[in-house]
Amino acid sequence: MNKQRYFKEGIIGDRNGTPALMGRHCTDCGKKSFPPTELCPYCASDKLETVFLGDEVTVLAATTTRAPVPPYDPPFTLAIVDMEDEIRTIGRVEKDEDVMVRKGDRLAVKFGKLYEETVFNKKTKANETIDVIGYYFVPK
Amino acid sequence: MRDVFVLGIGQTKFGVFEDKTGVDLGVAASVEAVKDAGINAREIEAAYAGYCRGPSTQGQMAFTRLGIGSIPIVNLNNACASGNTAVHMLYKDIAGGFCEVGLAAGFESLTEAAREGGKGLLAIKEDFGGMMGLTMPGFFSFVYQRLIDERGATMEDLCYPAIKNHHNARFNPLAQYNKPLTYEQIMESRVVVDPITVLQCCPQSDGGAALILCSEDYFKKHNINNHPKIRVAASVVHSSGWLSTRKDPLFSQVNREAADKAYTMAGIEPGDLDFAEIHDAFSGEEVAAYEPMRFCPEGECIKYVREKFYDLKGKLPINPSGGLLSLGHPLGASGARVNCEVVRQLRNQAGGYQVEGARIGLAQMLGSVLFGGNESAVVCGIQILEKVK
C-alpha cells in the first residue's frame, strides 16, 4: 500500500473512527468557519474551538474543466457548495460524465485519494508513490 | 495631502516578443514616459516597479538603464493590480510631500515565464481551491453560472464584452489583436471550462507601461510638452477579507468596496464617469463587474448589456482600448497600462477609439480571484483621473 498524506493538514479529522471535515467555532462571536484559520476570520478572536462539520452539502454552482490542470486530468467538475451554519466552500464532484450537477442539488461528503504524487525518498534513495488524501462530493 | 498630476506616459505594444525580457519592456515603456514628460530621468526621486514573475529587483535592473539610481526603488507584486499598486504607492509619496516627481511602471513577459514555468492552466499551489484544481477560468465559470442562474444571462450576453472589446481594438495600434470577432467564432473555439471558450479568455502576453507623476508645482515648471493637466482624483488599493471571499461570486464585494472608496475620494458619482478601463480577463467577468462597480443598478447588468450601454459609442464606454481580451494581459503591466489608456483618452490622443469629450476616466484591475477562503485574498486597484484647468 502506498504512503498517504492529506492534501492539507488540519482539514480532516477523526470523528468516532470515521473521517470528517473540521472547522472552527468562535465562542466570542458564535460563527463557524471553514477551512480552519489561526484567529476567527469574522472577529479576530482567539477563542476558537475545533468542530466537526456535517456530511452533506448543497450546490450553489458547478462547472466542468475541459483542460488539464496538473495533477488533475480533464474533464473534472468543481462545485461551490453551502454547508451548515453559512459555511460556503469548494470541492471536487466525483460523478459519471453524463450526470449533471445543478444549483440546489444535495451532495454527500466523501474522503479518499485525490491524486498520486511521486517523491524522492532521501533515506531509501528511491522514488516512492504517495496517495494524496482529501475530500470530495458525490451525488446523493 | 496635496494634488498629484500625470506628466508623462509610455507604453509598449502588447503581444508576444520572444527576444525581449520583462525588464526590456519596462525599460522601453519608462524611456517613452520620461520623453513624454519632457524631463531628464535623473530628476526622478522615487520609482516603483510592478511585476509578478521572475527574479527580484527587476525594477532596479530596468531603471538603472535610464540613468536612474541612488533613489528609493521598490518592487511590487500585487497580481493583476501590481501596476495600479505601483501608481498608488507613488501617488502617496507625492501627495504626502515625500517627493516631487517619480516613476511608476508595470511590466511582464509571460513568454519568458512560460519558457521557465510552462504554459497553460495552472492552479495556484497555496490556494485552497487551487489544491482541488480551481483555476482562473474555473473561478469565472462559476461567475458565468451565477449570472445565468440569477440574472438570466445568455451566452450572447456573456460574449458581449469579447465582441465589443475586439471591435474597439481595431483602432488600437498597441493591441495584440486588431481583428473583430463574431459570436459564432467565439463559441466555436475550444472549451476551457464550461461554458468559457478560449476566445472568451485574454491571451497571456508581454508588455510594459509607465507613468511619470508629479506635484502641481513640478507640473507647472516642467510641462514643456504642454500636456493637458490631468489630476489623480482618486487612488485606491483594496483587499478582500474573509467575508468578501465567502460571498457569492455573482457580486464582487472587493470591487464594490474599492469603487465606493474611489468615488468618495474623487468626490464624484459613478454617473460622472465618461468611460472606464477595467479587468476583463474573461468576457463574462466584465459583465459581472458592471453592478459592483455601479456602472448600472443592481440586478440590471443584462438589461444594460442588451442596450449596448458600454459600446465605444454607448453611454458609458467600457474598455474602449480593447481591454485585456484584445491587448493581452502581461500581469504586472496591465494596471499601469489602464492608467496610460485613461490619460490618452483625457488628452484626446486615442485616435479611432477616442471617447468624445472624455474628462473623467477610471482605471481598475482585479487580482487573484480564486475561491477558497482567506488563502485566496483578492486585491482591487483603482485610479480615477480627471482633466482639470
Q: Give me the count of residues in chain A.
A: 140
Per cent of chain B over pLDDT 70 is 94
Phi, psi angles (nearest 5°) of residue B388: -125, 170
Are residues B297 and B190 part of one domain? yes
| pLDDT, average across residues B37-56 | 96
Contacts of A120 (CB under 8 A, 6+ apart): A126, A127, A128
Q: Which residue has 481580451 as its cell numbers?
A: B325
SS3 content of chain A, % helix, strand, coil (to 5): 0, 55, 45
Are residues B160 and B68 part of one domain? no
B118-162 pLDDT per residue, tens: 655 666 666 788 888 888 899 899 999 999 999 999 999 999 999
CA distance B121 to chain A (A): 6
Contacts of A33 in chain B (CB under 8 A): 242, 373
In whole angstroms, give the CA distance from residue B4 to residue B214.
Answer: 6
Taking chain A (140 residues) in consecutive chunks of 10 residues, what is each chunk's mean pLDDT?
91 94 96 91 94 96 93 93 89 93 97 93 93 96
Taking the alpha carbons at both ends of chain B, their separation in whole angstroms is: 20
In whole angstroms, give the CA distance from residue B216 to residue B281.
Answer: 35
pLDDT score for B123: 63
Per cent of chain B over pLDDT 90 is 85
Q: Do residues A134 and A76 lie in contact, with contact meaning Cβ atoms separated by under 8 Å?
A: no
Judged by CB atoms closer than 8 Å, whether chains meet at A35 and B138 is answered as no
- Nearest-by-Cβ selection for A63 from B194, B247, B248: B194
Judged by CB atoms closer than 8 Å, whether chains meet at B133 and A41 is answered as no
B63 grid coordinates: 531603471
pLDDT score for B174: 97
User: Does an H or E element contain B284, and which?
Assistant: helix B283-290
Contacts of B249 in chain A (CB under 8 A): 61, 80
CA distance B150 to chain A (A): 11
ipTM of the complex: 0.93
Residue B227: half-sphere exposure toward Cβ, Cα within 13 Å: 28
In whole angstroms, give the CA distance from residue B251 to residue B246.
Answer: 11
- Nearest-by-Cβ selection for B129 from A62, A64, A90: A90
B350 has a pLDDT exceeding 80: yes
Integer-rounded Cα radius of gyration of chain B? 19
Are residues B330 and B245 part of one domain? yes
Are residues B211 and B256 part of one domain? no
A interface mutation test: which of B127, B132, B191 has the most A CBs within 10 A? B132
- Containing domain of residue B248, as a range? 123-201+233-388
Beta strands in chain B (DSSP E): 4-11, 46-50, 73-76, 101-109, 191-193, 196-197, 206-215, 229-239, 275-277, 360-367, 379-388
Band (pLDDT 50/70/90 cuts) for residue B387 is very high
Contacts of A60 in chain B (CB under 8 A): 146, 248
Domains held by chain A: number: 1
Are residues B190 and B133 part of one domain? yes
Are residues B314 and B212 part of one domain? no
B114 has a pLDDT exceeding 90: no
Measuring CA to CA, which residue among B348, B369, B371, B346 is closest to residue B359? B346
Average pLDDT of chain B is 94
Are residues B225 and B151 part of one domain? no
Is A45 touching B (CB cutoff 8 A)? no
B95 has a pLDDT exceeding 80: yes
Are residues B104 and B242 part of one domain? no
Q: Which residue has 536612474 as its cell numbers?
A: B68
pLDDT score for B117: 66
- Long-range contact list for B61-69, CB < 8 A, 24+ apart? B61/B23, B62/B23, B62/B26, B62/B27, B62/B30, B62/B105, B62/B107, B63/B30, B63/B103, B63/B105, B65/B27, B66/B27, B66/B30, B66/B31, B66/B34, B66/B41, B67/B40, B67/B41, B67/B42, B68/B41, B68/B42, B68/B44, B68/B103
Enzyme catalytic residues of B? 80
Contacts of B200 in chain A (CB under 8 A): none
Are residues B134 and B108 part of one domain? no
The alpha carbon of B59 is separated from its chain's Cα centroid by a whole number of angstroms, namely 19
Are residues B160 and B281 part of one domain? yes
Residue B254: half-sphere exposure toward Cβ, Cα within 13 Å: 27
Nearest residue of A to residue B149 by CA position? A103
CA distance A131 to chain B (A): 14
Judged by CB atoms closer than 8 Å, whether chains meet at A63 and B133 is answered as no
Phi, psi angles (nearest 5°) of residue B198: -55, -40
A interface mutation test: which of B193, B201, B243, B371 has the most A CBs within 10 A? B193
Measuring CA to CA, which residue among A115, A108, A133, A114 is closest to residue A53? A108
Measuring CA to CA, which residue among A42, A53, A40 is closest to residue A11? A53
Domains held by chain B: number: 2
- Nearest-by-Cβ selection for A92 from B133, B191, B241: B133
Are residues B188 and B57 part of one domain? no
DSSP state of A72: B
Phi, psi angles (nearest 5°) of residue B308: 55, 40
B351-368 pLDDT per residue, tens: 999 999 999 999 999 987
Phi, psi angles (nearest 5°) of residue A75: -80, 145
Are residues B380 and B296 part of one domain? yes
In whole angstroms, give the CA distance from residue B118 to residue B134.
Answer: 17
Q: Do residues A47 and A28 lie in contact, with contact meaning Cβ atoms separated by under 8 Å?
A: yes
> In angstroms, what CA-CA distances link A91 with A79, A103, B85, B288?
6, 14, 32, 23
CATH number at residue B60: 3.40.47.10
B interface mutation test: which of A72, A90, A115 has the most B CBs within 10 A? A90
- Containing domain of residue A69, as a range? 3-139
B4-37 pLDDT per residue, tens: 999 999 999 999 999 999 999 999 999 999 999 9
Give A 13-32 residues with CB within 8 A of chain B: none
Is A7 touching B (CB cutoff 8 A)? yes
